Amino acid sequence: MRDLKRRGGRPEIGEAAYDAGRHLAALSTHRFARSGPLTPALTVESSFIDGPLTTAGLIEHFAGSSVFRQRVEAALVERLIDVARRWDEREGAVDGPSTLVHGDFNSRNILVRREGAEWVVAAILDWEFAFAGPALCDVGNFLRYERASRPRFEPSFSRGCRDGGLNLDKGWFRASRMADLPALCELLARDGVPSDVVTELIELVTATVEQRDFVRPD
């Protein structure tokens, strides 16, 4: 799908994005009693952090890394944690089931093919980061680089999600970006991430915190 995104036209990209949304919705039908890492038997492991798996809790966990603190300025860390805490305190913050989350749901890991007159998903690869959690984590990952000023997958992707049965309420785009924040922070806490990728990740975190150039959901 990454190759199609680079060389295809908007109709072809939209067809593939729509089908990716339908497949993501299908993943969300697999439910778990709680959120957390998955075992090889597809049961949920004990949490790797103390307390509930909240957006702020996960971000604070990764932000405690010396690698993270070396890369991210203290002012942004403070702002990031404050935004995450206020997000967790909002009404309805803990609503929603824990579902099967791919964990790296993006165009690089989605194979597409021409079927009849349309582009459809042929396979979803690389499941090593799968976990139980909110489906919006995968939505946010897929739309990580989607901006109102340069739409690529929208509105086809979200339409596919809805047609597949995934409930996207008002404000779903911001919610998906917030759900993706812990994943961005986890990458910033990893050793060996190239400096250009670190710069890109910090820009993504900053854009999310500032709600910059967000897609305006239907």
Same domain, residue pair 40 and 4: yes
Phi, psi of 43 (to 5 degrees): -105, 160
Same domain, residue pair 162 and 67: no
Listed residue (52, 27, 40) closest to 135, CA to CA: 27
Residue 88 inside a domain? The answer is yes
Whole-angstrom distance, CA of residue 100 vs CA of residue 133: 7
Residues contacting 59, CB < 8 A, separation 6+: 80, 81, 84, 181, 182, 185
Same domain, residue pair 80 and 176: yes
Same domain, residue pair 141 and 103: yes
Residue 31 inside a domain? The answer is yes
88, two tokens: 């967790």
pTM: 0.93
Q: What is the pLDDT of residue 42?
A: 87
Specify the length of the chain in residues.
218
- Give the alpha-carbon dihedral of 171, 176, 182, 184, to 10 degrees: -120
Same domain, residue pair 119 and 158: yes
Residues contacting 43, CB < 8 A, separation 6+: none
Same domain, residue pair 37 and 120: yes
Listed residue (10, 89, 61) closest to 189, CA to CA: 61
Same domain, residue pair 118 and 32: yes
Same domain, residue pair 28 and 83: no
Residue 217 inside a domain? The answer is no
Whole-angstrom distance, CA of residue 161 vs CA of residue 146: 16
Output the domain CATH number for residue 147: 1.10.510.10
Same domain, residue pair 64 and 148: no
Angstrom CA distances, 193 to 80, 201, 205, stand at 20, 10, 16
Task: Give the domain extent around 8.
Answer: 1-44+96-168
Same domain, residue pair 149 and 192: no
Could you give the number of structural domains in the chain?
2
Residue 9 inside a domain? The answer is yes
Same domain, residue pair 116 and 141: yes
Same domain, residue pair 26 and 129: yes
Residue 72 inside a domain? The answer is yes
Q: Per residue of the chain (218 residues), what is the pLDDT tens digit?
A: 999 999 989 999 999 999 999 999 999 999 998 888 998 888 998 766 666 678 999 999 999 999 999 999 999 999 999 999 999 998 766 557 899 999 999 999 999 999 999 999 999 999 999 999 999 999 999 999 998 788 899 999 999 999 999 999 888 999 999 999 999 999 999 999 999 999 999 999 999 999 887 655 44
Residue 218 inside a domain? The answer is no
